[in-house]
Structure 1
Amino acid sequence: MINPLNFSQSPDIKALSPELSIVMPCLNEAETLATCIKKARQYLDQHQIAGEIVVADNGSTDGSQEIAIRMGARVVHVEQKGYGSALRGGIAAANGKYIIMGDADDSYDFTQLDPFLEQLRAGHDLVMGNRFKGGIKPGAMPPLHKYLGNPVLTWIGRLFFASPCKDFHCGLRGFRKDAIAALDLRTSGMEFASEMVVKATLHKMKITEVPTTLSPDGRSRPPHLRSWRDGWRHLRFLLLYSPRWLFLYPGALLMLVGLIVGIWLLPGPRGLFDIHTLLFAATAILVGFQAVLFAVFTKIFAISEGLLPEDPRLNRLFRYIDLEKGLIVGSLLLLAGIGGSIYAFGIWGTQDFGVLDPTKTMRIVIPAVTSLSLGFQIVLSSFFLSVLGLKHREIV
């Protein structure tokens, strides 16, 4: 049977309702896969846990599939390339109530899974490993990842989403299958690790961390991870999933700075600062307002597509702000801009349409043009927001 991820599974091994599935993504891990499966099997047997071992193979060419089958694991063939794709295929095929996922490079000890299973049994939806609490052995993590990549990306994730996780990218983590399935995870690459944490946080799932030790992997080849490429993919995901930090906060700051500077310069020049600075202030207001609009558009679209959960604050806001109010505000700004333009034109007429002093007339023209631009943006965006909100009664 082929599912939307285009994976197939070997039919000879089928566990009946196991409590725990241990899922390992695999791409040419022949050197270490047998060791990982052996440790996982040892853990299940020693603790008498009804479980299975699932190897989500992403197109290995080194015999990893045969090793997994020989060691008694169930192999899931995932055609779509990428770390995230392999894990999504393995998670979808797993039969356990709980899933613990871990890399197949022998960097994590699969005999030490008790802390994860205990927290899952206690009712947590997601149990993250924390390598900075459990210990990173010498040579297990490059200095660039240890002191820059992981700490910075984790700090950004915690800042953007108020997540309790202090190690966003630990490859060893456990979760309830039904809870993670409800998140509709979609990313295909290494950013899958961030997506799981971010969406679990946004959906207010019960999350905790346990100390985890990271050891040097047992492979002779370089890892699949590419520091700058995959680091950017993580950062890009965090930005795209936080319209507030990507659009709203920078836009609001630009508008505020532009407004303060504009009011400061409107009466007359201030030392070196004159109408040229006033023009830049007006531009900051316009660009900032566009960024704020993008934040609202992105949020509504993401909710409509199921990328983000419903936001009660946004729903409350749109109970008071609708198309008609937007049209009224936009029209008032348009009238103010037209009035300012007519006034400036009148001043020009009193000078027989000759040469004017720009330091005086531009103090009228710049605010008038800014009002016209904002008015048009508000009118057009009000209609656009109504279109985006057709699927949400709170917004219509």
Structure 2
Amino acid sequence: MSEIVELSIVMPCLNEAETLEVCIKKAQSFLSKNQVSGEIIIADNGSTDGSQAIANKLGANVIPVPEKGYGSALRGGIEAASGTYIIMADADDSYDFENLMPFLEKLREGDDLVMGNRFKGGIKKGAMPFLHRYLGNPVLSFIGKLFFNIKIGDFHCGLRGFSKTAFLKMNLQTTGMEFASEMIVKSKLNNLSISEVPTVLSPDGRTRPPHLNTWRDGWRHLRFLLLYSPTWLFLIPGILFMVLGFIASTLLVIQPVIVEHIMLDIHTLLYTASLILIGFQFILFYALTKIYAVENGLLPKSNRYDKLFKYLNLEMGLILGVLLLLVGIFLSFYGISIWKDSDFGNLNPSQTLRIIIPAVFTILFGMQVIFFSLFFSILGLKNNQN
């Protein structure tokens, strides 16, 4: 019978001939010295410099991955892995493949995802560009911790370990560098246990420039974090806009507001009323994004998601929308009555627009609530049938 593989060491590879051999030999040394039953998988993403021949000569398992991208290569290699646990790292000799035991020990203890932390383990001189070290990584890690309440200090360490079972639960989809962020976020969203261990980052052993593009890949990480957190992208800004717009509009409906020597009047009221509608649009996008993401398996379903359909239903939306419409119609007739009292002649804009702007606003707001309620109820049919 074939020996059970405990650990698969996966390296993405795209023209890594300069450093691939030393990485494979270090990984083999680790497995041998620590008597770990393992395999080394080279996920080749279309190398043209003979990397495949180097890996085959050293007995590594080469997995061709035709779909381009860092995430694609890793996903192809991980899916082909037969180990209970998987440790992944770049094949540029920046991580020490002979010092993987802290990761394996954490995995054996039951942790689902074990992250390396380069800021705790040490970053050697020239190993990380200034912008990455003091701007990119700290900012993106802070955003990730804030958005998803993940208590790790290095979101983008390329050296990490996880169980094959945990990987399957993550259901990772991205193809580029944002694959690293998706792994952490999906682990958190699926309630997987995450820990970290210090790791040392050494200078890249290659003479050619790295595949990583600072601004492009940094944006892809940020974009992913935003899209996977509709609460921060849509809901919180939407609530903030609506609250600020409502407070400002209420004050301006009562009377003009003077700030030092500047008088804010009906023209400002038009903008503040619009701010409420913009905020409501943000909240609508939050709900629709949440539904789409859950129903397409991008985000896991939660109890709060089920409550969304319980409390936000067609009947409640129609009642609220009709009430807003009635308020708008009443204010419109009140404005017409004022116009009639002046024999439909000239009016004082500062007075009448304090009525007409809220009238138009509530009519528009009411119609949006009604239409959204109808659409939301259609989306909820499937949910109600479950």
TM-score (norm 1): 0.95
Query: 1:387 and 1:311 mapped to 2: Cα distance?
Result: 20
Query: 2:199 and 2:235 mapped to 1: Cα distance?
Result: 37
Native 8 Å contact 1:251 1:292 kept in 2: yes
Native 8 Å contact 1:20 1:49 kept in 2: yes
1:97 equivalent in structure 2? 84
Q: How far apart are residue 355 of structure 1 and its match?
A: 1.3
2:350 equivalent in structure 1? 359
1:325-364 matched pairs, under 5 angstroms: 325-364=316-355
1:17 equivalent in structure 2? 4
Alignment partner of 2:241 out of 248, 254, 260: 254
1:58-73 matched pairs, under 5 angstroms: 58-73=45-60
Is 1:319 the counterpart of 2:310? The answer is yes
Query: 1:388 and 1:220 mapped to 2: Cα distance?
Result: 54
Native 8 Å contact 2:181 2:221 kept in 1: yes
Alignment partner of 2:155 out of 153, 168, 184: 168
Please give the per-residue CA displacement for 1:15-45, whole angstroms capped at 9, x wherever unaligned.
7530000000000000000000000000001
Is 1:213 the counterpart of 2:200? The answer is yes
Native 8 Å contact 2:252 2:265 kept in 1: yes
1:32 equivalent in structure 2? 19
2:364 equivalent in structure 1? 373
1:150 equivalent in structure 2? 137
Please give the per-residue CA displacement for 1:47-70, whole angstroms capped at 9, x wherever unaligned.
111100000000000000000010
1:10 equivalent in structure 2? none
Number of residue pairs matched by the alignment: 382
Native 8 Å contact 1:16 1:95 kept in 2: no
Query: 2:309 and 2:55 mapped to 1: Cα distance?
Result: 54
1:299 equivalent in structure 2? 290
Native 8 Å contact 1:15 1:52 kept in 2: no
1:233-244 matched pairs, under 5 angstroms: 233-244=220-231
TM-score (norm 2): 0.97
Query: 1:46 and 1:133 mapped to 2: Cα distance?
Result: 26
Amino acid at match of 2:18: E
1:117 equivalent in structure 2? 104
Is 1:84 the counterpart of 2:71? The answer is yes
**Tell me, which stretches of 5 or more residues in structure 1 are unaligned?**
1-13
Query: 1:221 and 1:77 mapped to 2: Cα distance?
Result: 22
Query: 2:301 and 2:111 mapped to 1: Cα distance?
Result: 22
Q: How far apart are residue 310 of structure 1 and its match?
A: 1.1
268-277 or 296-305: bigger deviation: 268-277
Q: How far apart are residue 358 of structure 1 and its match?
A: 0.7
Native 8 Å contact 1:15 1:95 kept in 2: no
Native 8 Å contact 1:20 1:100 kept in 2: yes
1:193 equivalent in structure 2? 180
Query: 1:232 and 1:211 mapped to 2: Cα distance?
Result: 26
Native 8 Å contact 1:255 1:285 kept in 2: yes
Alignment partner of 1:232 out of 194, 219, 225: 219
Q: How far apart are residue 264 of structure 1 and its match?
A: 1.0
CA RMSD of aligned residues (A): 1.3
Amino acid at match of 1:246: L
Native 8 Å contact 1:304 1:391 kept in 2: no
Q: How far apart are residue 389 of structure 1 and its match?
A: 2.1
Query: 2:378 and 2:29 mapped to 1: Cα distance?
Result: 57
Amino acid at match of 1:206: S
Alignment partner of 1:384 out of 347, 353, 375: 375
Q: Secondary structure at the match of 1:355?
A: coil
Superposition misfits of 4+ residues, deviation over 3 angstroms = 14-17
Amino acid at match of 2:144: G
1:281 equivalent in structure 2? 272
Alignment partner of 1:308 out of 291, 299, 313: 299
Query: 2:266 and 2:323 mapped to 1: Cα distance?
Result: 25
Query: 1:153 and 1:16 mapped to 2: Cα distance?
Result: 41
Q: Assess, with a 3 A threshold, how the Cα gap between structure 1 residues 15 and 63 changes in structure 2: closer, same or farther.
A: farther
Amino acid at match of 2:365: L
Q: Secondary structure at the match of 2:257?
A: coil
Native 8 Å contact 2:8 2:39 kept in 1: yes
Is 1:75 the counterpart of 2:59? The answer is no
Query: 2:31 and 2:323 mapped to 1: Cα distance?
Result: 70
Native 8 Å contact 2:114 2:160 kept in 1: yes
Native 8 Å contact 1:258 1:284 kept in 2: yes
Q: Secondary structure at the match of 1:24?
A: strand
